Structure 1
């Protein structure tokens, strides 16, 4: 076969293997990245040996990392980099230095290497994490804008920049200290000159060039010019002794500040995805399964050492920069692998004689295994948090890390609207509500946005919107409504569920990041779910239909019907299997459990509205699997529970335990005519310090205490020996006359009939729709 044709055959073979592997992984509900790696293993030299020109394929695969980092640079921008500059520069630099120091000392002491230079080289390899793998996982989970996503990307950027410095120092490792110092100084000088040149090009050359390309109105020319620019700068950095990947990232940063950044990203994304799959398949081709099998004990030991060691270095560093413990833990797990750039260092080290062939193969094997393990670790982290919170002492420790970091001096105490997230959407909501004299309080976790709130004198709470302590500090139990506009689905779900634990009747409007999240958010208790793309479609259609003479009143009625149907008519058709699969994936990130209803459960024959599970137990019912095999996903309030039902419930361990008590008849279900209301025990209450048995509310007033909220935790279905303390919030169920009598006894000084969520004249969503201009609606 002709040599020039061989490359085409190899390229098609690699792409086909990556596609097949990714498809199989998707069908097995595993990360597609794992399929790409396995596809490369199968067709590589250690597998079927279908690829003959491995070097050429690896060269093409470098485009994958280049486009990945180019797209990251376009999305990240200098403004975004500045938000995490402390953890990025300080934390990233310390992490690299500590990893090299610890590895060098340990390897020399244990006799793994024969010289300190080899220990430093090994430390440099271990200090790098995988930008490609972590970025791919974050994008698949829509978590690039989360605090832990920004922390990981900030550290990864510094690691990528450090690669050029490491490559420059490698040849001098065996030389005297003066040679190493000269090599470091020369490398820093090149990096500095390149950075200065990049800033100048980004200011004076890139913007007019992109405007010229855009003026041609040719998609092909624009894409061609952008790709040539990206690869040209990447080749320049390679020529300067830095890395192609660093040049691609810097090229993306230069374009990020231009008005055509979004258009550039849209055009480059397909190329990025194709070449990224090629890159991961090329990594798979480097893996030798036989070598892994023959040395599996040693490699598994090295993998464990790497994962644990890097986790123990990165996690404390992130907490040192005042990030919450959960953010630090996720970052520690996410960056605990060895990166793809370590292959570059290992190859250079072998060529320079710093490592033997066997050590080189061990490094490759260890790196490959850590890359495969990383997606599973990131998927496992939410379950680890759920497991940790099932242990009271761990839960108390984790809860302390979610305390508010700061709050404005004047925080509204009642009748306000809480806005979670102060991004573009949150900022618009706050502006509109303030224009109509609604008191507003913002919950935000970004230090930069908190400073914006301080400058604008907008009340705020600095902390995690999914934390019970932060939500309590924001006074959601006394708020009129709440709007959740957070960047990632997991934080949105957690914030929604936690706020309704505190205030079950709160009017909550939520922005859905994806259309498949709509029903899930409604099921978790949202009063209204807004999907930005669908809202833009409705506004555009309304304008067009009215301009063509259709009656405005009928159009508004039709639009409202579409909203009331949860955009059902606009959503793409999905099979029952697809809906069920998406539901399972979403439930995996929360504490979910399939629960079989007992044979004589008092809940049988009741509708979900009658059971009022969320208020009484805190769990959310996501699906019902009938005895006959049928499944009801996202059941509505009229759904009746039947014998043999298995329920998919979501809730914390104590909430699931409370539901179990209710389902088995060990806790009383409120009567159909009962009302349930929350009441706070004031300091002067005569019942403070007594047990429920001593109060005997059931015997005297026919009122049940279904739950007690105390200092950030719930006590569901408390027993008779439970003490009543000052500031406890009691969930009382009974008829209205009895509830009034109980209030007069427990809280005689209160002027309000009960401590309830104030009634709102209109939903937050209705208020926004009434006052929101079409342009703002498109942004929302």
Structure 2
């Protein structure tokens, strides 16, 4: 077979294997890159042996790494890098130094290497994490703009920059110390010269070139010009003794500050995705499954040591830079792998004689396994944290790390608007609300965003908007409205869910980051869900239809219908199985559980609206499976509950327990005509320190305690062992006269005259929805 045709066959074989593996991974709800790696293993020299010219495929695969980092540079601009410059430069640099130091000492101590130079080389390999894998996972989960995503990318950028320094120093590792110092000096000089040149080109040349390309109004010419620019800069860095990948990343950074950055990213993304698949498949081709199988115990031991060692180095470093413990844990777990560029170092080290063939294969195998495990680790982190929050031993640590880091002076206490997230959308909202003299409190956990709020004198709470303690500190329970404009879906869902725990009837507007999130956010209790892309379409259509002479009233009515239908007319058609898969995936990231409805349940025959499950228990019912096999995803309030139904509910463990009690009929639910009222327990109340069994309100007064709100937590259907504390808010349901008598006993009118008001007859569901202490309702 001709050589050039052989290359075409090999390239097609790799792409077919990557596409097949990616499709299989997608069907199994796993990241596609796992399929790309496994596909490469199958067709590689150690697998079926279909690929003959591995070197040529690896050369083409370098384009994948280059385009991946080029796109990262376009997205991760200098402005974004500045937000995390302390942790990226300081933390990233310390992480590399500490990893090399610890690895050198350990490997020398147990005899893995024979010289300090070999230990330094091994440490350099282990110090790098996978930019490609971590970036791909963050992009798929829409988490690149989250605090942990920015910290990870900042550290990864420093690691990628350090790769050029490592490659420059590598040949001198077996030389005298002065040779190593000379090599480091030369490498730093080259990096400095390149950085200075990149800044100059980025300021004076790149903008003019892109404007010239844009003037042609040719998509092909614009794409060709951008790709040529990227590869030329990448080749220049290669000639300077740095890496192609570093050059591609810097090229992206230069373009990121130009007005054509978004257009560039749109054009390059399809090319990037194809070559990235080729890159991951080439990584798979380096893996020898037989060697892995024969040395699986040793490799798994090495994988364990790598994950634990890097986690124990990175997590404290991130915490040292004043990031929340949860962010530090996510970053530590997310970067606890060996990067794909370590293959480059390992290959160079083998050529230079720094490692034997066996050690090289062990490094390749360990690196491959950590790359394969990383997407699973990042996927399981939310479930892991949800579980840890329920374990008594870990609960205090998670509660403490959810506390606000800082609260502005004189924040509003009631009738204000809480804005979660001070990104582009959050800033615009704050500016518009300020123009109408609205009281505002902003929640954000980015130090850069908080500094801007300090300078603008906007009231803020510095912390995680998904934390119950932070939301409580922002006064969500007394707020007029809440806006959630967070960059990742998981934090958005948690912030929505926990805000409704504090104020079930709060007006909440949520930004949906993806089409598939719209129905789930409505189901979790949002009053309004806004999808920016759809809103842009509606505004453009409004402008065009107005120009065509369509009456404004008609346009407004049609737009309102589309919004009321949750953008159903604009969303692409999706099968029921696709909707069910997305729902299951989203529910896995939250506290969710399937419950069977007993045949004798009092809920049988009621509609979801009549049962008022969210208000009574706090859970959200997001799916129903009928006995006859039908599944109803995102059921509306008119759906009736039937015998044999199974419910997928989302909520905290205590909320799920309350739902279980409700479904089994183990709690007494007042009828709709029964008066209910919230009552706050003062410090000098006779009930403080006594259990509900000792007080026995039901026998003495005929009054049932339906719920207790305590320190931001909602205890539904409390049992008889619960002890009352000062400051508790009790939801009491019973007759009007007994409620008045009980109220006078718990809080005598002489001590709290504001409580001696007539009790209004409201259903328990409405009382729960109001969820306000009695003293705040006295003026109603």
Give the alignment's TM-score, normalised by structure 1.
Answer: 0.94
User: SS where residue 441 of structure 1 aligns?
Assistant: strand
User: SS where residue 516 of structure 2 aligns?
Assistant: helix
Bigger drift between 127-136 and 392-401 goes to: 392-401
Matched ranges for 1:622-633 at <5 A: 622-633=622-633
Query: Cα distance, 1:698 vs. partner?
Result: 3.0
Query: Cα distance, 1:678 vs. partner?
Result: 4.3
Query: 1:512 aligned to 2:512?
Result: yes
> Residues 117 and 173 of structure 1 are in contact (CA less than 8 Å); yes or no, is this contact kept in structure 2?
yes
String of CA shifts for 1:70-103, please: whole Å, max 9, x gaps.
Answer: 1111101101000001110111011111111111
CA distance in 2, matches of 1:733, 1:500: 22
Matched ranges for 1:206-245 at <5 A: 206-245=206-245
Distance 1:451 1:13, change over 3 A: same
CA distance in 2, matches of 1:734, 1:314: 56
User: SS where residue 515 of structure 1 aligns?
Assistant: coil
Bigger drift between 751-760 and 372-381 goes to: 751-760
Matched ranges for 1:291-440 at <5 A: 291-440=291-440
Residue matched to 2:447: 447
Residue matched to 1:247: 247
CA distance in 1, matches of 2:701, 2:433: 43
User: SS where residue 80 of structure 1 aligns?
Assistant: helix
CA distance in 1, matches of 2:545, 2:22: 44
CA distance in 2, matches of 1:176, 1:656: 66
CA distance in 1, matches of 2:608, 2:332: 41
> Residues 479 and 758 of structure 1 are in contact (CA less than 8 Å); yes or no, is this contact kept in structure 2?
no
Query: Cα distance, 1:684 vs. partner?
Result: 4.8
Bigger drift between 611-620 and 53-62 goes to: 611-620
Distance 1:582 1:270, change over 3 A: same
CA distance in 2, matches of 1:677, 1:316: 48
Residue matched to 1:529: 529
> Residues 125 and 346 of structure 1 are in contact (CA less than 8 Å); yes or no, is this contact kept in structure 2?
yes
CA distance in 2, matches of 1:88, 1:382: 24
User: SS where residue 77 of structure 2 aligns?
Assistant: helix
Distance 1:412 1:758, change over 3 A: farther
Bigger drift between 707-716 and 133-142 goes to: 707-716
> Residues 676 and 733 of structure 1 are in contact (CA less than 8 Å); yes or no, is this contact kept in structure 2?
yes
User: SS where residue 392 of structure 1 aligns?
Assistant: coil
Query: Cα distance, 1:700 vs. partner?
Result: 5.2
String of CA shifts for 1:532-589, please: whole Å, max 9, x gaps.
Answer: 1221222222222233232222322222222122112222121111110110111111
Bigger drift between 536-545 and 679-688 goes to: 679-688
CA distance in 1, matches of 2:622, 2:735: 30
Query: Cα distance, 1:17 vs. partner?
Result: 1.0
Matched ranges for 1:491-570 at <5 A: 491-570=491-570
User: SS where residue 483 of structure 2 aligns?
Assistant: strand
> Residues 611 and 669 of structure 1 are in contact (CA less than 8 Å); yes or no, is this contact kept in structure 2?
no
Matched ranges for 1:471-510 at <5 A: 471-510=471-510
Query: Cα distance, 1:736 vs. partner?
Result: 7.2
Residue matched to 1:62: 62
Query: 1:279 aligned to 2:279?
Result: yes
* Structure 2 unaligned spans of 5+: 760-766, 773-780
Residue matched to 1:593: 593
Distance 1:318 1:675, change over 3 A: farther
> Residues 615 and 768 of structure 2 are in contact (CA less than 8 Å); yes or no, is this contact kept in structure 1?
no
Residue matched to 2:27: 27
Query: 1:168 aligned to 2:168?
Result: yes
* Structure 1 unaligned spans of 5+: 761-780
Distance 1:560 1:87, change over 3 A: same
Bigger drift between 521-530 and 598-607 goes to: 598-607
Bigger drift between 111-120 and 540-549 goes to: 540-549
Bigger drift between 503-512 and 432-441 goes to: 432-441
Residue matched to 1:6: 6
CA distance in 1, matches of 2:697, 2:627: 39
> Residues 480 and 757 of structure 1 are in contact (CA less than 8 Å); yes or no, is this contact kept in structure 2?
no
Bigger drift between 134-143 and 668-677 goes to: 668-677
Distance 1:735 1:318, change over 3 A: farther
String of CA shifts for 1:696-746, please: whole Å, max 9, x gaps.
Answer: 443455443222232343433212232211122323445778767765665
String of CA shifts for 1:632-660, please: whole Å, max 9, x gaps.
Answer: 11111122221111111111222222222
State the number of aligned residues: 760
String of CA shifts for 1:217-254, please: whole Å, max 9, x gaps.
Answer: 11111111111111111111111111111111111111
Query: Cα distance, 1:525 vs. partner?
Result: 0.6
CA distance in 1, matches of 2:736, 2:311: 55
User: SS where residue 153 of structure 1 aligns?
Assistant: helix
Query: Cα distance, 1:168 vs. partner?
Result: 1.1
Residue matched to 1:147: 147
Residue matched to 2:96: 96
CA distance in 1, matches of 2:648, 2:68: 38
Bigger drift between 62-71 and 602-611 goes to: 602-611
Residue matched to 1:193: 193
Distance 1:740 1:25, change over 3 A: farther
Residue matched to 1:619: 619
Bigger drift between 144-153 and 8-17 goes to: 8-17
Query: Cα distance, 1:393 vs. partner?
Result: 2.8
Query: Cα distance, 1:670 vs. partner?
Result: 3.3
Distance 1:678 1:230, change over 3 A: farther
CA distance in 2, matches of 1:217, 1:750: 75
Query: Cα distance, 1:685 vs. partner?
Result: 4.2
CA distance in 2, matches of 1:746, 1:518: 45
CA distance in 2, matches of 1:349, 1:665: 69
CA distance in 2, matches of 1:84, 1:718: 45
String of CA shifts for 1:262-307, please: whole Å, max 9, x gaps.
Answer: 1111111011100000000000111111111111111111111111
CA RMSD across the alignment: 1.9
> Residues 415 and 758 of structure 1 are in contact (CA less than 8 Å); yes or no, is this contact kept in structure 2?
no
Give the alignment's TM-score, normalised by structure 2.
Answer: 0.94
User: SS where residue 505 of structure 1 aligns?
Assistant: coil
CA distance in 2, matches of 1:518, 1:452: 30
Query: 1:44 aligned to 2:47?
Result: no
CA distance in 2, matches of 1:138, 1:72: 11
Bigger drift between 349-358 and 527-536 goes to: 527-536
> Residues 479 and 757 of structure 1 are in contact (CA less than 8 Å); yes or no, is this contact kept in structure 2?
no
String of CA shifts for 1:20-59, please: whole Å, max 9, x gaps.
Answer: 1111111111111111011101111011111111101001
Query: Cα distance, 1:427 vs. partner?
Result: 1.2
Bigger drift between 113-122 and 716-725 goes to: 716-725
